[in-house]
Structure 1
Amino acid sequence: MKRTRKDFKRLALFAALVCAAACLQTHAADQVPRWIATWGAAQQTPEPRNALPAKDLQDATVRQIFHLSVAGRTLRVKVSNAFGTAPLHFTSVHIARPLAADAPAIDPASDRALSFAGAPDVLVPAGAEYLSDPIDYPVDALSNLAVTFHLDNAPQGETGHPGSRATTYLVHGNAVGAANFSSPEKVDHWYQIAEIDVQGSPQAGTVVTLGDSITDGHASTTNGNDRWPDVLARRLQQSPATRALGVVNKGIGGNRLLIDGLGPNALARFDRDVLAPAGVRWLIVLEGVNDLGTQMEHGDVSKAQHEDLTHRIIAAYQQIIDRAHAHGIRVTGGTITPFGGSMYDHPGTLTEAERQAINAWIRAPGHFDSVVDFDAVVRDPHHPERLLPAYDCGDHLHPSPVGYRAMGEAIPLTLFER
């Protein structure tokens, strides 16, 4: 059928209307507020020395103080029973502004009860996590938030984060709204809280840091928030281009890429710790030192075994990169820092050569989207297999707070600019 000029005009008008509608829809989508994680911690089963006796969590109120990375006017809290073996009943969960980072006192005027599907309590299934309903509650960047919950019965299988570097306060009875606790039990571990989210601008996003104790902050200051991800969060707030970005620390002390130990191995926990946090757009990976350091815990290994471990560590990095890319997440690789003179140092073995080979792969183009050379930042230039003494906490494996500051300051903020 021959089309007339009028037909072509109608088609052109229809196409223009379709295009305009699509543009309007895209523009509207770009204006939708975005949930982003302002705080989070990797969950695990606390090892026996870090777990609480069941009696301590029977009819107990737990108050924990979390350091937020990015501001927001609306927030929600994710409670966790990820490693529980039975449903866990949170009878009440409150938020408030603490009066200090290292004490249980709160401003009672700021205390608010959270709800879950409109109810004041929630029964979280075994192995699950649960978001609270959103609440209008403005919080500033780099501020602290107290989250207090009451349990009527202790969890069957605790879920927590032993390497909190922050103090938790416990009392018996339901005291979720109390302005202060009288003679509370104090432990430097976190329990049953996985994440705090805020609603940010459409351009907002979250940076996840995946790692072991060097990311978790071993030897950092208790209640001081001076791990290298904390330093990164502070720096992001100093630039208007990155002020809408949150940082979530998913380090676990003793964690490995390939083998369970302290917490599930990095590949096993990837979905929960990297993909699940709200608004993730970037990932920084610093993991592998424990795989290298523990390979000889039962004696010498052959050259072939060293080479096999190197191959499997690199393959694990590639798995992380591929899985992150499938979800639109850009991945930065951090080189493995030196550990000469530490408990992991085995002179005369191939362990240091393995570290160098793995770091060469990390630095090489075409693997990670970008690289932060933590090794170059903290190593002693005269003894590159060792930490610079000024950055060494004393065990020759973990940086000091000064070393963590150098690491956090070495990350280019341009990695996170759109």
Structure 2
Amino acid sequence: MKIAHHANQSLAAVLLLLFGAACGRAQAGNWIVSWGTSQQIPEPANALPADDLRDATVRQIVHLSVGGPTLRVHVSNAFGTDALHLTSVHIARPVSPSASAIDPATDKALTFAGKNDVIVPPGADFVSDPVDYPVAPLSDLAVSLHLDTPPARQTSHPGSRATTYYVHGDAVAAANLPDAKHVDHWYLLSDIDVASSARGSAAIAALGDSITDGHGATTNGNDRWTDVLAARLQANKKTRDIGVTNQGIGGNHLLTDGSGPNALARFDRDVLAQAGVKWVIVFEGVNDLGGLTVQHPISQQEHDAYVARVIASYQQMIARAHAHGIRILGATITPYVGAGHYHPDAINEADRQAVNSWIRAAGHFDAVVDFDAVLRDPQNPDRMLPAYDSGDHLHPGPAGYKAMGEAIPLNLFKK
């Protein structure tokens, strides 16, 4: 009996040690997304020529939200049709958000399953091994990728509002790329996660179209509404452990594929799969409503049926988010009368009002972000306030994005 008793004690001690180690690993691995962007097949005008990606280094600069002592990088072949071979991936601190130069003392190679290169299967993302690399909140990070062979089909985020540099040869550790070509798109890069030991650390995913993506924002200026929100979260000691990932795609729709997959189709990858997401702000619908009558007028019955389909797509997102324990916030659709592409009339405006009424109604979304109330002109509520308008009567400019980011109540993000 004594032998059995000692054996049970020993077993209990071993199990306790294993449990403690597992808990330690779980705490150390409390990953939250600090920066992210949605992937799509780039339009022909936004894809890089294949020869430019043969034996090429691509250096991209991203703006983080939360900081941390450890990070990992996601590379993406989400829309590739063949395996993607990256021979090396490095990170470094850039000298400026609008130049290719890095501080070489901060350059560090990433590994993938312990190796310097990685082969990413078609349709997949690959996450680097964690690397001890302290990053400050709201800081910039340069990620340099080297490809030996160009992908048959590129995976990209065209609406970066950030400059990417590319040269031939393996220059991932080069202090500068003086002869680089440059373009304002991102390629093959989807997320940066940081490890956080803070209790209640989490992230917000912003799922949207070009108004979330930042059309009309300043290139390399990081003044989208999501950037403004991230800065406000960092300025408040109660929310500075909350990250923000911008999952906007210009031209995106709820119901049909446009620029990138429709919002419902990409919900799993762009929201549910993001590390540590506890909240999602859904700001989609203007392209659906505006595009409804671009070609020709339709009947009132067709308008009503389409509004019902838009609302049904929101309901699907709500159900999916709740199934994963994520709070979902609905953002009202902003005014767009006067927009040259959509040229909405009174019936289109009635559709917008009907959808916004549903978004605002209790019992649907967990909370409402009323961007319509923020941007509309009080004298002409179907139009954007001129001071916030980028000039096309659809997209805000930097002042409008600032107003949007500042209008979101931080108490919506209670831990």
TM-score surpassing 0.5? Answer: yes
- Structure 1 CA distance for aligned equivalents of residues 146 and 22 of structure 2: 43
Shift of 1:297: 2.2
Tell me the distance in 1 between the aligned counterparts of 2:345 and 2:142.
50
Identity %: 63
Q: What CA distance in whole angstroms lies between the structure 1 residues aligned with 2:326 and 2:21?
A: 24
**1:345 to partner: Cα distance:** 4.8
How many residue pairs match? The answer is: 398
Amino acid paired to 1:310: V
Separation in structure 1 between the aligned mates of residue 344 and residue 194 of structure 2, nearest angstrom: 49
Letter in 2 for 1:152: D
Taking structure 2 as the reference length, the TM-score comes to 0.93
Aligned with residue 161 of structure 1, among 149, 157, 164:
157
For 2:211, the equivalent position in structure 1 comes to: 214
> Deviation per CA, 1:171-213, whole angstroms, max 9, x where unpaired?
0011010000022101000000000000012421010000000
Contact 2:290/2:344 (8 A) holds in 1:
no
Q: 1:33 to 1:116 in 2, by over 3 A?
A: closer
SS at match of 2:161: coil
1:15 matched to which residue of 2?
none
2:237 corresponding residue in structure 1: 240
Superposition deviation, residue 302 in structure 1: 1.0
Q: Distance in 2 between matches of 1:111 and 1:203?
A: 31
Paired position in structure 2 for 1:334: 331
Counterpart check, 1:83 vs 2:106: no
Closer, same or farther: CA 167–31 of 1 in aligned 2, 3 Å: closer
Corresponding residue number in structure 2 for 1:358: 355
1:325 aligns with 2:317: no
Runs of 4+ off more than 2 Å: 23-33, 343-349
Partner of 1:185: 181
Does the aligned pair in 1 maintain the 2:291–2:342 contact within 8 Å? no
After superposition, residues 285-324 of structure 1 pair within 5 angstroms as: 285-324=282-321
Name the residue aligned to 1:137.
133
Residue 336 of structure 2 aligns to a residue whose secondary structure is coil
> How far, CA to CA, are the matches of 1:184 and 1:291 in structure 2?
39
Q: Residues of 2 paired with 1:348 and 1:70: CA distance?
A: 43
RMSD, aligned α-carbons: 1.8
Q: Matched residues in 2 for 1:348 and 1:199: separation?
A: 49
Change in Cα spacing, 1:107 to 1:26, as seen in structure 2 (3 Å) is closer
After TM superposition, the score normalised by the length of structure 1 is 0.93
Q: Aligned-pair distance for 1:234? A: 0.2
Partner residue in 1 for 2:373: 376
Alignment pair present for 1:173 and 2:166: no
| Paired residues of 2:28 and 2:196 also in contact (CA < 8 A) | no
Structure 2 residue aligned with 1:46? 42
Counterpart position of 1:62: 58
User: 3-state SS of the aligned residue for 2:382?
Assistant: strand
Unpaired segments of 5 or more residues in structure 2?
1-15
Secondary structure, aligned partner of 1:350: helix
What CA distance in whole angstroms lies between the structure 1 residues aligned with 2:24 and 2:111? Answer: 29
Superposed counterparts of 1:207-286, under 5 Å:
207-286=204-283
Residue in 2 aligned with 1:16?
Answer: none
Gaps of at least 5 residues in structure 1 are 1-19
Q: Deviations over 1:106-158 (max 9, x none)?
A: 00000000000000000000000000000000000000000001000001110
Cα distance, 1:84 vs structure 2: 0.2
Letter in 2 for 1:394: G
